[in-house]
Amino acid sequence: MQLLVSHPFVNIYLHEYPAPVLEAEWLGFAGSQQFRQAIEQGLQLAQQYQITGWIANDRQLRAVRPADLAWVSEYLLPALDDMGLRRLALIESEDVLNRLTINNMYHKSTPQFSFEMSRFELLSEARAWAAAADPAE
């Protein structure tokens, strides 16, 4: 695991084996501009490393504005789908309201995309699933 980006509110890691996966570990609150810039940076890295999996470790993520969640749905998810993402692993936020609003966004958005999405309690399981070389695993 290689740390590619570090900000006070997010770390972005690359897992290279068995398949390239990016992990966004949210560390707390990020303002709208910071949130979007970090995601754009992650997307650039996803393209650079030709990832097949993305881990959204939202455990410590705090409130996200509805407009930013809509932006994720309209910008990030289609871009990940277009680049051939196979798996999106979610570690849900500990903040109940945040968890509900984010889950609602994914519930409404992801059926239109070709990648799989799954929620995990354990980060180790999310990492293994996201990086599985065989899509059937």
User: Residue 6 forms beta bridges with which residues?
Assistant: 11
- Work out the mean pLDDT of the chain and round it to a whole number: 92
Q: In this predicted model, what pLDDT tens digit does every residue of 46-80 receive, in sequence order? A: 999 999 999 999 999 988 999 999 999 999 999 99
pTM: 0.91
- Per-domain residue ranges of the chain: 2-131
CATH superfamily, domain at 2-131:
STAS domain (3.30.750.24)
Q: What angle do CA 55, 58, 59 make, to 5 degrees?
A: 120
In the predicted structure, residue 110 carries a pLDDT above the cut 90: no
CB atoms within 10 A of CB 59: 16
In the predicted structure, residue 15 carries a pLDDT above the cut 70: yes
Residue 133: pLDDT band with limits 50, 70, 90: low
